[in-house]
Structures are given as structure tokens and as C-alpha cells.
């Protein structure tokens, strides 16, 4: 099983969430406990305060278990040094993707500063994972508009539209070739519908682990266990948890 | 202004916080040089008392010799009864469909409104869709709905005002059968951007005062202040909407 949406701890920033301190070993123990073989680990501090050090920290975290953890960096796209830092995150730090959070980082997906950034992601064969499901600046239609401009970059909707915008996320995933969705915090009825209607190769799953007050990431464990209650087929489950994320990360079926 | 002026959307009757009588509307049209206006009924009549609303708009159209043009409304949750209601409104002279997913309680992409749009297609009615803030009535899902029915002209009411103006241009690019309305939008930012965009242009904009939520004078003043070539001004102010309604084949009301 590959968890496509997790976070490092919040090391240096304040947040409305409590959170817990944990290291990479703790995190792998959580993964082992619930049967997660690999996890995409997203920056956390960098969503609130973009610094090169935040990307260094992600690289250091995943570097402890390179066979298990895949790191995605982030950087506020309006910053003048953003291009150089995102290039460094791929070329020097070995991060595999870019996480953007438009409403936390305060930009619109239609801003032209994103185009050269997406060209860097494409040049490195990287992936963009974007927060979605939260107006005003994190909706699937907005993200799809950027994805259409950069068809070489796989773009992942990080939450499949959450509770209110999942139909929009499904729709734009259906019609946008390079748009994928990650069921993560999406209600079960919506998850089942998405699995029934979305292109079968485009559905991923994530727990959002890393935000818990416990290093054991209990809510993330519960989310994994809940999958069995969705009423989906074994084929759908395997595609979502194994084949689809592996194809995106490894470039092979 | 020596051109046909059609106001693409106003609401008559008593609303929650505003009201507009037919007499007041006609006076405002005289004052601002509006030849014809397309009228929707009150919020309550849009939401649930559809028969009263359709009676009000079609009666207003008859009473004014066609100077006012009637929108039909039907809550899509009524299923077959909604189609019966539209058929009744059609017999009474309605010439367009107005939907408001926030008032009527549906999602533009959940399929509930699709039979009503098919009815509109069969009768060559344009469809006005109220857009704005989340959830459920944003510009890009409106474009997605429009793309389901490429033979139908859709008017994007309010063009996503205000936080989602930034989505209106991508929506207009995405669905060529979608038209933006001018209400609330500054010409020197929002409308100017639409006009300059080679994939949009002034041919995709229709004037709307959106009374009684906005003022007739204020909306028309902004149109007068917007320096456009004469043929483009004529299109925005009236000839495009007249074409969508089939009014150009009729003598002036």
C-alpha cells in the first residue's frame, strides 16, 4: 500500500493543529503498523513559511528511509527565489514532487508565476500535488486549468474535493488527462462514487498522516481501516492503493 | 446610445432584502436607456413557488408588449413536475431558463438540472446560471455544465463576482457556449481582461443590471464609461443577448 498524502511534523511553525513530534523511525513504525509500504511525505513548515531550510528538513526526513519515504518540497511561488529553490529541491535534494497549498500560501492557480515553476517540475519528471476542496483558491477547476497548460506534469488533487467539492474534483479528473485525485479526508460515500466513476488509473489514497497529536497517527490508521467499509471491489482497492501510486511514482505499470 | 439595449437579468418581486416592481423596473429602463429586460421572479418563487414565479414573469411580459422577456423557473428537485412547470411557462410565453443552485439546493454537476437544460435545448432557450461563491455555483462548474450541452447558450450570471472573477476567464475559455454577464464587474479590470483575451472577447459578454441587487444607473454608467468600438459596445449592450433570445427577428417591443 502506498500512502500518497502524509506530512512531516511541524518543526518550526505554529498551526491551529496541535501535532506531535516524531522522527522518521517513528513514522515508519506507524506505516508498518497499518501496512503502508511507502508514503509520499509533504512539507509541513514550508506551507506556512517557505524557506530552503524547510525543504532541507523534508529531504533529511525521507533520507532516513529512502526506500519507504518519497519527499515533496514546497515553496511560495510568488517569492523571487522560488524558481531557484524549487530547482534545487529536485536537482540537489532529490525531492520527487512539489506540494502547493494555494489558500495557505496565498495565491491563485491562474497566476503566471506558476508556469515556469511547472516547467521545472516537468523537466525533472516530477509531480505536483495541490491542496483542493477548499474555496476560494483550491478548487479542482482552478487546478485543472493549470494542469491543462502543463500536460506533461501529473497533477494530483490532494483531497479529491473533500466534503463539498468532490463532484467538481471527479468531473475535472474525468476530463483532464493529466489530473489525478487522492482520496484523503473525502467522505466514504464520495470515495465510493469516485472509484466508480473516475478513470480507474487515476485514483490514489492518502491518510494525511503527520497532523496527529500522537506519533502513532491514530486517525490515519483509522482512515486506512475504514477503506474496507466503503463497499469497493478488490480490484478498485488494489488500483488505488498499489498500482496507481506505483505507476505515478515509478513510471511503470 | 443609439443601439438596442437588452438587460440580460433582473429579478422582479419581493426578495429577502430587496424588491423590484414591474413599474419600477420600467421606469429604471426608461431612465437608463434600456429597451428590453429579461426578468426572473423572486427568490422564493425561484426556490419553491415556481408557478407563482412563472405567472409573474410571463404576465409581466404580456403586460409590457414583450418589452420584458420572461425567464422560466422550476426547482429541479421536483423531477417530472419541474418539466411540466417549464412546459406551462413556455405556453405562457417564457423564453429562457434561469437556475440558481444556491437557492434551489442542488449542485450544478449532480445531474438534477440536466433534464431542465434539455428542455431548454429543445426550445432553443438560453440558460442563466447564477454564479458566485462556493459551494455549488462557481464559474468553472458552470462551464462544465455548459460543456455537457454545447448546443445551449449559458449566461454566467454575475461572472463569479467577486472573489471568483478570477475563475470567470478560464471558464469562458473552457466552454465556448458560455457568456459572461457584466454586473458588478469593473471594466478597467475584469471586463477589460475578458475583452483583451483572444479566446473570449466582447462577443462573449452580455450586459446585466442584476436589479434589484445592483442599481440600474450604476451598472449602465459603467457601461457608458467603458470605451469600446461601436460594434463591440452594441454587442455587449444588446445584440448578443437579443440573438440568444431570438429577439432580433422581431420588431421592437
**pLDDT by residue (tens digit) across A199-224?**
999 999 999 999 887 888 988 998 99
User: B107 contacts in A (CB within 8 Å)?
Assistant: 167
Q: State what percent of residues in chain A have pLDDT above 90.
A: 83
Q: What pLDDT, on a 0 to 100 scale, did the predictor assign at position A246?
A: 98
Its sign, for the CA torsion A81, A87, A93, A95, is positive
pLDDT for position B119:
98
| Torsion A242-A243-A247-A252 (CA) sign | positive
Give, as one character, the DSSP assignment of residue A72.
E
Taking contacts as CB-CB distances below 8 angstroms, the residues of chain B near A108 are: 166
The C-alpha cell 524547510 sits at A54
Reading phi first (left if > 0) and then psi (alpha if -120 to 50, else beta), residue B184 is in left
Q: Which of A193, A240, A172 lies closest to A3, judged by CA?
A: A240
The confidence score (pLDDT) of residue B187 equals: 85
Give mean pLDDT in consecutive 10-residue pieces for chain B, a chain of 253 residues.
88 94 98 97 98 98 97 98 98 98 95 98 98 86 98 97 88 98 89 93 97 91 92 97 90 69
Q: Cell 514550508 belongs to which residue? A: A46
User: Hey, what CATH topology would domain A2-250 get?
Assistant: TIM Barrel (3.20.20)
Produce one character per residue of B196-207: b if its CB has 16 or more CB atoms within 10 Å, e if not.
eeeebebebbbb
Give CA–CA dist B119/B95, Å, rounded.
12
What are the distances in angstroms from CA A180 to CA A72, A105, B233?
16, 22, 42
pLDDT at B251: 67
Chain B touched by A110 (CB under 8 Å): yes
Min Cα–Cα distance to chain B from A168, Å: 7
- Answer whether A139 sits within 8 Å of B143, measured CB to CB: no
**DSSP 8-class letter at A133:** S
Q: How far apart are CA B11 and CA B37, in angstroms?
A: 10
What H or E segment, with its residue span, contains residue B98?
strand B96-99
Instruction: Give the count of beta carbons closer than 10 Å to the beta carbon of residue B112.
Output: 20
Indicate if the pLDDT at residue A253 is higher than 60. Answer: no
The mean per-residue pLDDT over the stretch A41-60 comes to 95
Residues of B with CB under 8 A from a CB of A: 107, 109-110, 133-136, 138-141, 143-144, 147, 163-164, 166-167, 169-171, 174
Q: Which of A49, A123, A132, A61 is nearest to A86 (CA)?
A: A123
pLDDT tier for residue A22 given thresholds of 50, 70 and 90? very high
Which chain B residues are Cβ-neighbours of A135 within 8 angstroms? 133-135, 138, 163
CA–CA gap between residue A102 and residue B115 (Å, rounded): 36
Q: With left for phi above 0 and alpha for psi between -120 and 50, is residue B43 left, alpha or beta?
A: alpha
Residue B49 CB: number of other CB atoms within 10 A? 16
User: Strand A127-130's sheet: what is its strand order?
Assistant: A2-7, A38-42, A69-73, A97-100, A127-130, A155-157, A179-183, A203-205
The predicted structure's pLDDT at residue B250:
75
- The cell for A60 is 533529511
Contact partners, residue A123, CB within 8 Å, separation at least 6 = none
pLDDT at A252 exceeding the cut of 50: no
Distance CA A59, CA B194 (A): 43
CA-based nearest residue to B235, from B180, B166, B193, B188: B180
Gap between the Cα atoms of B9 and B44, Å rounded: 17
Give chain A positions within 8 Å (CB) of B139. Answer: 141
> What are the grid coordinates assigned to A210, written together?
503527520
C-alpha grid cell, residue A153:
506534469
φ, ψ for residue B105 (rounded to 5)? 75, 45
Q: Identify the residue among B164, B168, B200 best suited for mutation to test binding to A, counting A beta carbons within 10 A and taking the highest.
A: B164
Find chain B residues with C-beta within 8 A of A164's C-beta: 134-136
Please tell me the predicted confidence (pLDDT) of residue B2.
65
pLDDT grade for A164, boundaries at 50, 70 and 90: confident
Of A110, A135, A165, the CB nearest to B170: A110
Domain B6-248: give its CATH superfamily.
Answer: Metal-dependent hydrolases (3.20.20.140)
With residue A71 as reference, give the H or E element that holds it.
Answer: strand A69-73
Q: What is the ipTM of this complex?
A: 0.77
Helix (H) or strand (E) holding A236, with range, is helix A234-238
**Is pLDDT above 80 for A81?**
yes
Q: What is the pLDDT of residues A92-151, one digit of tens each?
A: 999 999 999 999 999 999 999 999 999 999 999 999 999 999 888 999 999 999 999 999
Nearest to A122 by CA among A86, A85, A158: A86
Helix (H, G, I), strand (E, B) or coil at A74: coil
DSSP classification of residue A209: B
Q: Answer whether A80 touches B (CB < 8 Å).
A: no
Q: How many CB atoms lie within 10 A of CB A250?
A: 11
Residues A147, A153 contacting (CB under 8 angstroms): yes
Q: How many angstroms separate the CA atoms of A136 and A142, rounded?
A: 10
DSSP codes, B183-198: TT--IIIIIHHHHH-T
Cα–Cα distance measured from residue B27 to residue B38, given in angstroms and rounded to the nearest whole number: 15
493529466: which residue's cell? A178
Before A64, cis peptide (omega within 30)? Answer: no
Q: How do B154-157 and A38-42 pair as beta strands?
A: unpaired
Mean residue pLDDT across chain A: 94
Closest Cα partner for A173 from A144, A148, A137, A151? A144
Rg of chain A, C-alpha, whole Å: 16
Element (H, E) at A42: strand A38-42
**Cα separation values, B98 from B19, B53, B104, Å:** 18, 11, 11
Amino acid at each position: 500500500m502506498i500512502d500518497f498524502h502524509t506530512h512531516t511534523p511541524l518543526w518550526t511553525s505554529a498551526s491551529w493543529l496541535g501535532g506531535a513530534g516524531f522522527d522518521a523511525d517513528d513514522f515508519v513504525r506507524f506505516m508498518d503498523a497499518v501496512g503502508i509500504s511507502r508514503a509520499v511525505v509533504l512539507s509541513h513548515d514550508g506551507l506556512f513559511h517557505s524557506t530552503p531550510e524547510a525543504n532541507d528538513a523534508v529531504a533529511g526526513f525521507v533520507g532516513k528511509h529512502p526506500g519507504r519515504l518519497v519527499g515533496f518540497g514546497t515553496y511560495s511561488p510568488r517569492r523571487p527565489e522560488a524558481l531557484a529553490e524549487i530547482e534545487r529541491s529536485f536537482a540537489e535534494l532529490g525531492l520527487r514532487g512539489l506540494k502547493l497549498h494555494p489558500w495557505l500560501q496565498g495565491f491563485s492557480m491562474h497566476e503566471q508565476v506558476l508556469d515556469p515553476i511547472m516547467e521545472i517540475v516537468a523537466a525533472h519528471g516530477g509531480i505536483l500535488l495541490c491542496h483542493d476542496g477548499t474555496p476560494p483558491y483550491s478548487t479542482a477547476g482552478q487546478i485543472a486549468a493549470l494542469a491543462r497548460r502543463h500536460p506533461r506534469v501529473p497533477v494530483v488533487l490532494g483531497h479529491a474535493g473533500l466534503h463539498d467539492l468532490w463532484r467538481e474534483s471527479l468531473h475535472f479528473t474525468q476530463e483532464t488527462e493529466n489530473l489525478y485525485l487522492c482520496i484523503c479526508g473525502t467522505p466514504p460515500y464520495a470515495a465510493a462514487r469516485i472509484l466508480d466513476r473516475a478513470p480507474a488509473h487515476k485514483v490514489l489514497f492518502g491518510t494525511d498522516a503527520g497532523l496527529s497529536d500522537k506519533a502513532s497517527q491514530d486517525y490515519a490508521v483509522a482512515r486506512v481501516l475504514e477503506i474496507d467499509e466503503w463497499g469497493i471491489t478488490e480490484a478498485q482497492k488494489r488500483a488505488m492503493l498499489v498500482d496507481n501510486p506505483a505507476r505515478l511514482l515509478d513510471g511503470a505499470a | 446610445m443609439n443601439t438596442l439595449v437588452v438587460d440580460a437579468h433582473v429579478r422582479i418581486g419581493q426578495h429577502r432584502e430587496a424588491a423590484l416592481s414591474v413599474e419600477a423596473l420600467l421606469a429604471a429602463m426608461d431612465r437608463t436607456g434600456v429597451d428590453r429586460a429579461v426578468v426572473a421572479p423572486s427568490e422564493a418563487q425561484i426556490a419553491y413557488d415556481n408557478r407563482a414565479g412563472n405567472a409573474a414573469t410571463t404576465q409581466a411580459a404580456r403586460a409590457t408588449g414583450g418589452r420584458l422577456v420572461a425567464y422560466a423557473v422550476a426547482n429541479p428537485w421536483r423531477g417530472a413536475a419541474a418539466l411540466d412547470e417549464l412546459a406551462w411557462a413556455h405556453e405562457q410565453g417564457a423564453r429562457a431558463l434561469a437556475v440558481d443552485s444556491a437557492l434551489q439546493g442542488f449542485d450544478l454537476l449532480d445531474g438534477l438540472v440536466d433534464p431542465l437544460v434539455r428542455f431548454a435545448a429543445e426550445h432553443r432557450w438560453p440558460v442563466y446560471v447564477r454564479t458566485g461563491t462556493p459551494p455549488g455555483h462557481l464559474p468553472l462548474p458552470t462551464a462544465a455544465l455548459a460543456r455537457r450541452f454545447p448546443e445551449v447558450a449559458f449566461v454566467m450570471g454575475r461572472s463569479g463576482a467577486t472573489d471568483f472573477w478570477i475563475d470567470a476567464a478560464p471558464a469562458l475559455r473552457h466552454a465556448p457556449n458560455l457568456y459572461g454577464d457584466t454586473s458588478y464587474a469593473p471594466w478597467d479590470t475584469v471586463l477589460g481582461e475578458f475583452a483583451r483575451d483572444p479566446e473570449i472577447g466582447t462577443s462573449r459578454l452580455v450586459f446585466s443590471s442584476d436589479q434589484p441587487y445592483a442599481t440600474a444607473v450604476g451598472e449602465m454608467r459603467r457601461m457608458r464609461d467603458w470605451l469600446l468600438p461601436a460594434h463591440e459596445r452594441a454587442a455587449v449592450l444588446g445584440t448578443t443577448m437579443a440573438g440568444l433570445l431570438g429577439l432580433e427577428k422581431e420588431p421592437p417591443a
